[in-house]
Every structure is written in C-alpha cells, then in structure tokens.
Amino acid sequence: MLRSLYSGVSGMRGFQTKLDVIGNNIANVNTVGFKGGRVMFKDILSQTVAGVTPSIDGTTGGVNAKQIGLGVSISAVDTIHTPGSAMTTNVVTDLRIDGDGFFAVKATEGQEQPYLTRAGNFTIDANNQLVTSDGMFVVDSNGGLIDLDNIGNITAFSISSSGELITVDDTGTTTNSAVFIGVVKVPNPAGLEKIGGNMYRQSPNSNDSGTSIVDFLGTANDAARGTGAIVSGQLEMSNVDLTAEFTEMIVAQRGFQSNARIITTSDEILQEVVNLKH
C-alpha cells in the first residue's frame, strides 16, 4: 500500500485532536481560572531507502541519506499557565493571584493532599468557613481550614495582598488575624493533572513525587518563594484568546482537509493500479 495513505490518516487523527483541544478552549472562554491547552506535533520515524555515503578525499563526494517520512503523531498536549485577565467584582471573598501560585482546597478536612486551583470565587458557608463554590474547604498557609469563628467575634473582614485576614470586631477594632490564605507554588505547573471543576492535583512530573504538596504551601506575595500577591475583589478569567483560537481552528480545518485529499488521491492511484489488469 502507498505510504501516503497512512500518512494522510495520521495527519487527520492529529488535526482531529487539535480541533478537540481548540473546542475545549473555546468552550471555557468564560471559565474562571481556566488555562488553555495546545497540541504539539512530531514526525513519525522515517523509512530509510538509502543510507549515507561518506566522502573520500580526492575520490568521491559524500551522499546524503534518502529517507521518507511516515506521517505525524502527537508530541504533547500542553497546558499554558499564562495569567488570565482580571475581572473586578468588589466581593471580598473573590480572590485573584497576581503572579505565580495556586490556591489549595480540600474536599474533606482529613484529606492529606489538597487540590490546587486558580479559581478564587470563594464564599463563606453557614459555619463561617471559607469554601469554594462546590463546597470544598480553602486551606490556610499551615494546611488547616479557614474558620472565622476560630478567629474571634468578627463583624467584617478584608484580605491583604499577602492573603492575611484583617478582621473588624463589634467594637470597630481592626486586627491582623495572623491567618493567611495558603498559596502553593510547584516547580512545574504544566505537569499538574486536570481533574475537572477548575482543579488540579499533584503528578510525578509537577513536583518530586516523594514531596507532599503541603511542603510547597505558604503565603502569597512571598518574594523568596516567588508567589504572586492576592488581589481581593477580583477574579482571574480564562486565558483563552478567541482570536488565536479561531485562527488555529482555520489552520486545523485546512490541515484536516489537506490530509483527507492525500487519502483521496492515494485511493485514486490505487484504483489506477487495480485497473492495470484490464
């Protein structure tokens, strides 16, 4: 069979995957804290028809190898962790990390490894605990839950750039609570595994698999750790650029059509070969 037939099939599969990723990016264009993805290609091992001939001084020149490519495959599906645009809400518990880092959240108090997220649309539940929109507990810089009842008699509070809760009691006195919202910075954010719900979890390639996520937990706006500042009253929106996505969609569509044409042309050639008998 013709090599071009299988090359065209591999190209169609690759561009189909690219369209899948683009579709997911566009679907999440308004998802808080979403990080878009991209598909990278690589060529498949080439078939060597003739090898290299070295040059011999004063006798013959060198001849390059003759190699025919056998198609394309997916090299990587990367998650791009560039910052998204800021949306001002003026809600105290809406938080945005201006820089690197992730919020840490737990589904239960006893969960050992917290999940990570860039979506800071938090709320206060009926038990005065800081939780996500899905009811997960927001973790402080020491790995514990943030419970306002444990801080004191609070009538109002604000959140500083370092993530500290600044409280106001019933006498109008402002106090630094020494309770900080936890921020995690991992060595390789692109290695984190998406688990849905704007959440990520540790993987062997995001950080040393023997090192707990809790060991990377600390405060925001920490120059030594390189964590970004927390901005209260704002949310980080998706980093998806619709202009770029639609341009890539056109490229992927034309690439898919071109590879389909390769298959059609290869089929016509095979038909001619079959008709040689007649």
Secondary structure in 3-state letters for 70-93: CCEEEEEEEECCCCCCEEECCCCC
What is the tens place of the pLDDT at every residue in 117-140?
999 999 999 999 999 999 999 999
Question: Collapsing DSSP states into helix, strand and coil, what is residue 68?
Answer: strand
Please state, in angstroms and rounded to a whole number, the distance separating the CA atoms of residues 226 and 220: 9
Q: Which residue has the higher pLDDT, 97 or 149?
A: 97
Sign, CA dihedral 79-83-87-89, equals: positive
CB-based burial label for 8 (10 Å; 0-12, 13-18, 19+): buried
Please state, in angstroms and rounded to a whole number, the distance separating the CA atoms of residues 5 and 23: 27
Tokens of 251: 């490229």
pLDDT at 208: 78
pLDDT at 188: 92
Q: Which residue has the higher pLDDT, 277 or 13?
A: 13
Please state, in angstroms and rounded to a whole number, the distance separating the CA atoms of residues 46 and 36: 32
pLDDT at 278: 63
Which residues face 57 on adjacent strands?
none
CB-based burial label for 127 (10 Å; 0-12, 13-18, 19+): exposed
Please state, in angstroms and rounded to a whole number, the distance separating the CA atoms of residues 82 and 85: 10
The pLDDT of 86-111, averaged and rounded, is 95
Answer whether 183's CB lies under 8 Å from 101's CB: yes
* Residue whose C-alpha is closest to residue 161's, from 75, 232, 78: 232
Query: Above 80 in pLDDT, residue 116?
Result: yes
What is the tens place of the pLDDT at every residue in 3-54?
888 899 999 999 999 999 999 999 999 999 999 999 999 998 888 888 888 8
What is the tens place of the pLDDT at every residue in 179-232?
999 999 999 999 999 999 999 999 888 887 667 888 899 999 999 999 999 999
